[in-house]
Every structure is written in C-alpha cells, then in structure tokens.
Amino acid sequence: MTEKKRILLIDNEAGLCRMMEKILQDQGYQVKSFTSPLKAIEEFKKSAWDLVISDIKMPGMTGLEVLQAIKTVQQDIPVIMITAYATVETSIQALRRGAYDMLTKPFEPDELVYRVKNALQQKLLLEENRELRAELEHQYRFENIIGATEGLRDVVERVSKVAVRDTSILITGESGTGKELIAQAIHYNSPRREKKFVAINCGALPETLLESELFGYKKGAFTGATESRSGLLETANGGTLFLDEAGNLPMNVQKTLLRFLQEREFNRLGDTAPTRVDVRVLSATNSDLKEAIKNGFFREDLYYRLNVVNIHLPTLRERCCDIPLLAAHFIHLQNLKFKTAIKGMEDNAMAAMCEFSWPGNIRQLKNVIEACMTVETTEQITRETLLQFIESDSTPVTISPDMEQFNQDVPYTTALEQFEAELLRRLLKRHGGNIDAAAREAGMNMATMYRKIKRYGIRKE
C-alpha cells in the first residue's frame, strides 16, 4: 500500500485551514494545519513532511520567514506560498528564497489540488534524480572498474589522480577498450559530478550537423533553422563534454573548438555575440593523431590543448588474466537483466576465451557473452556454444561447403534455409562473433538474428 503524502498547512485564518485540510484529505493526503507559524515550525522539525503550504502575510512571523526557517531544516522540500496580496516583488522574493509555487487567494479547490500534485511530482522527480545520480556515482567508482592486471591498475591510479583536477584529458586505445567508461569515471569522481556528462561521437555525424550539434545555432543561420538552438557545449555547462572519436573532427570544427578551449567562449552558427560556458572537455580516439597532424588532417595546437594528460588503455590481449573477471561480470549483469540463472562457464569454454585474440576488445567480449546466454540451454556456457561466436585460436574451424555445393535436389525452402544458415555463419566469422555488427550487415535486427541463430542451431562443425 502506498504511504500517504504528508502536508503541513500554515495560515492564520482557521476557516481557510479547515477548508484546505478537508479538500486535500479527500484527495488521500495526510494533512495537519496550524494557525501559528511558530508552532508549525516546531512540528515540522519533529517529523518528515512531503510538502508545506504557507500563507505569506501572518502576524508574528511572515510567510517568507517561515519559508527561510523550513529551508534551513530541509532544503529540498517544496513549499507553496499563498497570498491575497500578490505582487511581482513578493513573488520574486519568495521564488528566490526557494518557494516552489505561488497561489493567489481566492482560489478554486481544483486549482489547489492541481498545484499540490505538481509540487509532489517535482519532489518525486528530484528524489529519483538523486537516487539515479547516487547509483551512477557508485557504478563509476574506480574500484568497480573490472580487472586486476598491472596495466589496468596503473590506468586506474592515474585516472583517480587527474579526475579531481579540472584539466583536459585525451583517452587513447583500440575500439572497445572502454574509453567512454573511463571518461564517465573521471566525471563522476570529479567536482563536476553534480552536473551533466554529455557525450558525442564525432565520427557518427556529418560535418555540418556536427558543428551545429556542438555549438548550436541562431534562428535563420541556415535553411531550416526556424528557431535558435543551444548546442551540446551549452547543455554541458558546469559539467563535462566527452568527444568520442575526436580524430574525426572536421577542420572548421577544430578551429572553433580550439578557440573555446583557449577563451572559454564560442559563437553559435549565425551569431556574432560570443557565448561563455564552463565545461571540462574529455576526448578519446583510436587513431594516431600525431600521424593525422603530419598528414594535415588534425591541428597540432588543438592536439596539445586536448592532450594535456594522456590516458592510454591496454587491449584485452594485454590483460588476458582479466577475461575470467570480465566474463563473470557480464554474466551477472545479463542474469539480472533477463532473470536467467547461468552459473558461469565450463573450464574448456573459459580456456577458449583466454586463447582468443579479441580484436573487438571488451565490447566484443560483452556481446559474445550476451549471445552465448541467449542460446545456451545448460547451467553453464559450454565450449560448443562459445565457438558459435568466436574461433578458438587452438582449434581448427571447418566451414560448411560453399553455397554452390549445396544439394540441388532438396526442396526450395530447405535450400533457402541452408543458404541463410551459411550466410549467418560467414557474417559471424567476418565480424569476430559480434552479433550486432553481423545483424547490421545482414539488414536484420538483433532479436531476429538471435532467433535465427537458435533456430538453425549454428555450430562450428
């Protein structure tokens, strides 16, 4: 049963208190009213409340003084101020001191209920936001980064030192090594943790769209710009902007970004007035930026602005001792997500995991574990299941006959199924067991891909 929300009413008019109390009790709220502000504050300090409604003009203590006293005890509680003498100045004072809303007398019962519901909904959203932020901060604690090898521990130690310093960091490493995870860990362990972490993949957007996404634009800046729009730099104000695949930044965007890093200001597209924001920039790349500088594709001055501190992530091949830890972690996450009960991996399956070179690094390992758990029918992931999605470096793999060698005497539907099964095998082989990539090339969604893999019982013969 849902616990009733508790509302404290304060108004020196006893009749109005009784009326509001009755209206809100009929809506299922637990309400207690006071005509004395001092007694109300004493009661407020004794127990937990969800909402306070207070008159502004009262003898002995004004509503603004009540508001200040309440906010001293509980900063985030919503307070609705009611008054018969509403002025712009009074409203501004109340809102500046933390009031959630203003309600002018006389008011209809429906209006009171509407304002109360809005205030309580706002309180619920704030609580959920706090819980989510606490969960994120816990998730990205440095001790939660999975791995025990010396290379990874060195990275974590280095990251923990630079996280608290407001400096630009370039994270390098192969695709799938966890560059964004490290960027998030830096943000959630920095003084900016209460503000936004905003990420953008610089290689996923065309040049013109990337510029407007980052810096925003003014109304009329180009065809279709029917209104002004803020960019991601403004969205991240006070927080962190993460530029993934920064090596793909176009030259004109590099120039604007360099100016921002130097001056802490930029111009929206089509705007002559500069915009100032306070943003920490983290970037990542899997390409050689020094080579890009030599070839004229990347500005050397921007490189040194982004690369104040460099964090290089080791490949999974360099930390193979972490594979059992990572596999157990991803199995646990999948069990939680899908309410499954896979206990782990058979020894020979784990041996094959450790022998594999993992060209897609941790991302590929995660996808393979997810794929294995989708088709596995036993309590542990077997080597047979695993080898549907990777090739063991120590085991020869036999591919089924070429397409043209299929038995031409079988019915059309059977031949079509044989063709489809063989195509899926080849796609999985080509993409190193990455089901997501194979599904994209096949032009089908992930759910269909998993279903067909299970249907055909795809195995390495």
* pLDDT higher than threshold 80 for residue 250: yes
Under 8 Å CB-to-CB from 365, ≥6 apart: which residues?
A: 316, 323, 326, 327, 330, 353, 358
377 token code pair = 């029918």
- For 203, residues 6+ apart whose C-beta sits below 8 A from its C-beta are 244, 245, 247, 248
Name the burial class of residue 309, with classes exposed (0-12), middle (13-18) and buried (19+) by CB atoms within 10 angstroms of its CB: middle
pLDDT of 443 reads 60
Looking from the CA of 30 toward its CB, the CA atoms found within 13 Å total: 8
Q: Start-end ranges of CATH 3.40.50.2300 in the chain?
A: 6-129
Phi/psi at 114 (5° precision): -60, -45
Give the list of residues 6+ apart from residue 353 with CB closer than 8 angstroms, or none: 323, 324, 327, 345, 365, 386, 390
CATH number assigned to the domain with residue range 318-456, chosen from the 4 options 1.10.8.60, 1.10.3470.10, 1.10.3720.10, 3.40.50.10420: 1.10.8.60
pLDDT in tens, 52-88: 999 988 888 888 999 999 999 988 899 999 988 767 7
Q: At what angle do helices 109-139 and 179-188 cross, to 10 degrees?
A: 120
- Short-list 433, 359, 446, CA closest to 397: 433
Give the Cα separation of 101 and 78 in Å (integer): 8
Nearest CA-CA partner of 233 in 270, 281, 187: 281
CA dist 328 to 34, 324, 331, 333, Å? 58, 6, 5, 9
pLDDT surpassing 50 at residue 408:
no
CATH number corresponding to 6-129: 3.40.50.2300
Task: State the chain's mean pLDDT as an integer.
Answer: 85
Q: Which residues pair with 217 in a beta bridge?
A: 229, 269
Comparing CA positions, the residue from 383, 313, 388 lying closest to residue 354 is 383
Domain 140-314 sits in CATH 3.40.50.300: yes
What pLDDT was estimated at residue 254? 94
The pLDDT of residue 414 is above 50: yes
Among positive and negative, which fits the CA dihedral 421, 426, 427, 433? positive
Q: What is the pLDDT of residues 180-210, one digit of tens each?
A: 999 999 999 999 998 999 999 998 888 778 9
Query: Which residues of the chain does CATH 3.40.50.300 include?
Result: 140-314
Say which residue, 412 or 365, is predicted with more confidence: 365
The length of the chain is 461
CA dist 323 → 149, 332, 373 (Å): 10, 14, 17
Please state the separation of Cα 64 from the chain's center in Å: 38
pLDDT at 1: 45
Q: Residue 372's pLDDT is what?
A: 95
Q: Are 141 and 193 in contact (CB under 8 A)?
A: no
pLDDT of residue 83: 84
CA angle 211, 288, 148 (to 5 degrees): 105
pLDDT, residue 137, reads 58
Does residue 328 surpass a pLDDT of 50? yes
Q: Which residues of the chain form CATH 1.10.8.60?
A: 318-456
